[in-house]
Structure 1
Amino acid sequence: MTGQRTQAASWFHALRDRIVEAFEQIEVEAVRGGAPGTAQPGRFEVTPTKRDDGGADGGGGLMSVLRGGRIFEKVGVNWSEVHGTLAPRAQAAMAARGVPGMDASGEDGAGDNRFWASGISLVAHMQNPHVPAVHMNTRMFWTPGAWWFGGGADLNPCIEYPDDTVHFHATLQAACGIHDAEYYPRFKAWADEYFFIPHRGRARGVGGIFYDDLNSADWDADFAFTRDVGAAFLPAYLPLVRRRMGQAWSEADRDTQLIHRGLYAEYNLVYDRGTKFGLETAHDPDAVLMSLPPLAKWV
């Protein structure tokens, strides 16, 4: 599958480039519109990342972070292409999900624990509490016994506007519907279950879609679906940013935002699969934890 892996990694990289360009354009628009914030539009700082596979080259990627912008308080758009051998805990976790070729014991040397993975991961935390935070990722994973795709997007407003929620979901539903009418209800339900904070008894946002381990035995079809999920992100999210970014906000609104960010941080540190996988496979911890907000508050 070397050619297919290259194709997937190139697509994720191109999507990363497109989103970075679009977000920087939003910063320019905010300056022209006189939005409060810094004097200059925010720009991404891009840092290469590396994965250490027990002293061997494990691949890497690009960590792109914009901090202190007019609209984006902190946004990370990461791309990676990594490879090597799975740590025992990661191997056992995949075996528990039924991934072929993985040994449930998680013991070193049990089964063929080579892997390759590529994807894009994005989290945006906004200056204005009326502009929703957002998360998106798409990825491909390969082991000698299997390949699969995963990803999705979910909206995380601290102050919810129902029309924003409707637009976000409708855009994702349209992308899913191109491929299978059952995808949206299935993956929406999965997102509602996955993006839930058990110890708080509440969702972390207003949902979206989430899917993992997608292998229909038709690589081209599954890759096409994953591309359409990624391509739907900007049409789903940017209209909400433009709609809310000039809206006045109060200190009470900011307080609500910071408390909500505390919930977001709790989820990502305790439950998120991507965080756990990245740390357990020795990827750059700054890249793995870029999803955390710059400021948060607990009561």
Structure 2
Amino acid sequence: MMQSEKARAAGWFRTLRDEIVAAFEGLEDSQAEGPGSERPAGRFEVTETSRTSDDGSDAGGGLMSVMRGGRVFEKVGVNVSEVYGRLGEAAQKSMAARGVPGMAEDPRFWASGISLVAHMQNPHAPAVHMNTRMFWTPGAWWFGGGSDLNPCIEYAEDTAHFHETQKAWLDPHGDGHYPRLKEWADEYFYIPHRKRARGVGGIFMDDHCTGDWEADFTLTRDIGRAFLPAYLPLVERRRETPWSEEDREIQLVHRGLYAEYNLVYDRGTKFGLATGHDPDAVLMSLPPLAKWV
């Protein structure tokens, strides 16, 4: 049943959550001058989430941590979850169609992960998404996730730093990982009906299982560890940049792209809603304000 491995994975996602929450609250504290400094430093509101199976039995849950209206962050969520039970018919068929071994006969599952989305006060500071997860069924296990940058006003040097940092964390696992995961992100975070990417890319993987659990877990941890050094310097660089109402308009319209993608295409959103997880936690990624033209 891989109980030890499940516990280690779930524990790591919680550790990473704690590190990110502390770092983001530190950014709020350090914004003592400039735009937003007149507001109180933001703090995360933490809510326990839960789900129950069709028969009313416990089926896991997690922590939803959301900060709203801060000095630096307009809305940011950092969620962790550990859920289990039996997949519903639609989700079971979807997994079976993806070739998950034994799923057609045995719909039991376990999943744990961290999911983060940050929407910023300053339009020059980029929005960002990150998630990593482990999934188990009686016939298989795998890891997935990554992170991608979503600036509404693009800066080439910010994009370069984000990608270079991720590459530096992936290269010790093999030279082929970064280009493969970058290409995967470019394909996954594409909005077909808009014929454009939702941001400037990053890294992404899914169904990752080499058969060596320890190696795959180490890779997944380093994808998570790369996040703060890839992202924090960009926020520190842009958070005091003066911005105009035109910049704000660009930001709100760009957020519409993000909302469209998450509601129409994102696999994690679909899975969370299909398996009965707290909808507020699943839809935490949506921006507080957005516009369409």
1:36 alignment partner in structure 2:
36
Which structure 2 residues correspond to residues 85-104 of structure 1 after superposition, within 5 A? 85-103=86-104
Residue 199 (1) aligns with residue 193 (2)? yes
2:74 alignment partner in structure 1:
73
State how far apart, in whole Å, the 2-side matches of 1:98 and 1:161 are. Answer: 40
Indicate conservation of the 8 Å contact 1:42/1:69, yes or no.
Answer: yes
State how far apart, in whole Å, the 2-side matches of 1:283 and 1:38 are. Answer: 37
State how far apart, in whole Å, the 2-side matches of 1:40 and 1:112 are. Answer: 51
2:143 alignment partner in structure 1:
149
2:50 alignment partner in structure 1:
50
Residue 232 (1) aligns with residue 226 (2)? yes
The structure 1 residue matched to 2:283, chosen from 280, 289, 299, is 289
Does the C-alpha gap of structure 1 residues 278 and 38 become closer, same or farther in structure 2, counting only changes over 3 Å? farther
When the two chains are superposed, the root-mean-square deviation of aligned CA atoms in Å is 0.8
2:251 alignment partner in structure 1:
257
Q: Deviations over 1:268-296 (max 9, x none)?
A: 00000000000000000000000000000
State how far apart, in whole Å, the 1-side matches of 2:111 and 2:36 are. Answer: 40
> Unaligned 5+ residue runs, structure 2?
none
Tell me which amino acid in the other structure corresponds to 2:14: H
Measured after TM superposition, the shift of residue 146 of structure 1 is 0.4
Tell me which amino acid in the other structure corresponds to 1:98: G
Measured after TM superposition, the shift of residue 56 of structure 1 is 1.4
1:128 alignment partner in structure 2:
122
- Secondary structure of the corresponding residue to residue 164 of structure 1: helix
Indicate conservation of the 8 Å contact 1:12/1:79, yes or no.
Answer: yes
1:158 alignment partner in structure 2:
152
Indicate conservation of the 8 Å contact 1:84/1:115, yes or no.
Answer: yes
1:189 alignment partner in structure 2:
183
Measured after TM superposition, the shift of residue 35 of structure 1 is 3.2
Give the percent of matched residue pairs that are identical in Structure 1 and Structure 2. 70
State how far apart, in whole Å, the 2-side matches of 1:132 and 1:34 are. Answer: 18
Measured after TM superposition, the shift of residue 96 of structure 1 is 1.9
Measured after TM superposition, the shift of residue 38 of structure 1 is 4.7
Indicate conservation of the 8 Å contact 2:39/2:70, yes or no.
Answer: no
- Secondary structure of the corresponding residue to residue 286 of structure 1: helix
Q: Deviations over 1:135-192 (max 9, x none)?
A: 0000000000000000100000000000000000011111111102111111111100
TM-score under structure 1 normalisation?
Answer: 0.96
State how far apart, in whole Å, the 2-side matches of 1:208 and 1:271 are. Answer: 17
Quick check: 159-168 or 94-103, which moved more? Answer: 94-103
Tell me which amino acid in the other structure corresponds to 1:52: T
Tell me which amino acid in the other structure corresponds to 1:281: T
2:236 alignment partner in structure 1:
242
1:176 alignment partner in structure 2:
170
Structure 1 outlier segments of 4+, above 6 Å = none
Residue 215 (1) aligns with residue 186 (2)? no
1:13 alignment partner in structure 2:
14
TM-score under structure 2 normalisation?
Answer: 0.98
Does the C-alpha gap of structure 1 residues 119 and 130 become closer, same or farther in structure 2, counting only changes over 3 Å? same
Tell me which amino acid in the other structure corresponds to 1:93: S
Q: Deviations over 1:18-71 (max 9, x none)?
A: 0000000000011x2343255310000000000121121110000000000010
Q: Deviations over 1:212-257 (max 9, x none)?
A: 0010000000000000000110000000000000000000000000
